[in-house]
Amino acid sequence: MSNTPTEPVLLIDVDGPIATLTMNRPAKRNAMCDELLDDIDAFFAKPPEGVRVVIMVGTAGHYCSGLDLSEHVARDAEGTMRHSRNWHRVMDTIQFSGLPVVSAMFGAVIGGGLEMAASTHVRIAEPSTIFQLPEGRRGIYVGGGASVRIGRILGADRMCEMMLTGRKYDAQEGLAMGLTHYAVGEGEALPLARELAGKIARNAQLSNYMMIQAISRISDMSRSDGLFTESLAAAVSQTSADAEEGLKAFLEKRKPVFR
């Protein structure tokens, strides 16, 4: 169950336009260490040529159990603050790299693991999935972006209760609250992730990019600013070569072939 000295903590498999990233720290329930965070950051900073969609998954029955607390206790206040800000940067890189990201989840999706899942765009949960923010029970506070990302999914009131009590939610409860978009049977998360990733990869890349970049930012804006930004995104996408191909394919009753 433990990593060998030469075994990477992040396994990367590229199959055509889809890259699958497997967090590979089975002895730690795939808890996040600096090496794993750096490897994820490096991938999204410079993804392989031709990759259009990313799937994130864990190994040995768990997605990610959050920050490796053995690292947390070794930091002073300034170090912890800088570490938190680095998490924010990496989570932003995942969310806004321009690549759609699908999370195939099972087992622990806890603390930083839930923060990371919330930075991805499509989330699928198997029955074994446990969503939890237990930081308050451990005398600490979230530092990887939960206050913003998860707070916006759940609402401040529900998130506060979740943290105060250490409450766990299962896949069906997570589906009802928006922590996951799909609740599937055992062993079905990764197959569905591949199916959805294939569908997303067939979209025009510019359309995917606009959806990723615009929608969450528009939610931060005033109504008038959001509507203006929508118009700009529409103008860029609808005057592209892919838009021309999409319309032509519709009129010719065929599937579009995007760049």
Angle in degrees, 0-180, between the axes of helices 34-45 and 77-96, rounded to the nearest 10: 30
The residue from 35, 115, 161, 252 that is catalytic is 115
> Rounded to whole angstroms, how far apart are CA atoms 171 and 169?
7
Is 135 assigned a catalytic role?
A: yes
The residue from 35, 49, 135, 252 that is catalytic is 135
> Rounded to whole angstroms, how far apart are CA atoms 96 and 90?
10
Strands (E), 154-254: 168-169, 182-183
Residue type, 135: E
Q: Is 98 exposed, middle or buried (0-12, 13-18, 19+ CB in 10 A)?
A: middle
Residue 146 parent element (H or E): none
Is 115 assigned a catalytic role?
A: yes
Give catalytic residues, as residue numbers. Answer: 115, 135
